[in-house]
Amino acid sequence: MSWKLQTKNNNFLPAAESWREFPSKDDALRAACVAIRHELQIEVLYIEGPDWEHIALAQIEAWCRSQDPG
């Protein structure tokens, strides 16, 4: 079962969409948080689960905020 993180790389014209696979939902969410915080030219679009579960950007951002210590 894989989870796919869909992103758009704005370093290219036109922007190039791609996805990366992860073994778990949490792994995909953690990778999305890293991209949101540190990869300025990479735009996180959504995460898709193995049963076509769709996690929208707003949900991803909320999850990232909930993981911040402090």
pTM summary value: 0.88
Would you state the structure tokens that stand for residue 64, as one six-digit string? 């990232």
Tell me the pLDDT of the chain (70 aa) as tens digits: 799 999 999 887 888 899 999 999 999 999 999 999 998 889 999 999 999 999 999 999 999 999 976 5
**Domain of 19?**
3-67
Distance (Å, whole) CA 25 – CA 47: 8
Domains in the chain, number: 1
Distance (Å, whole) CA 58 – CA 16: 21
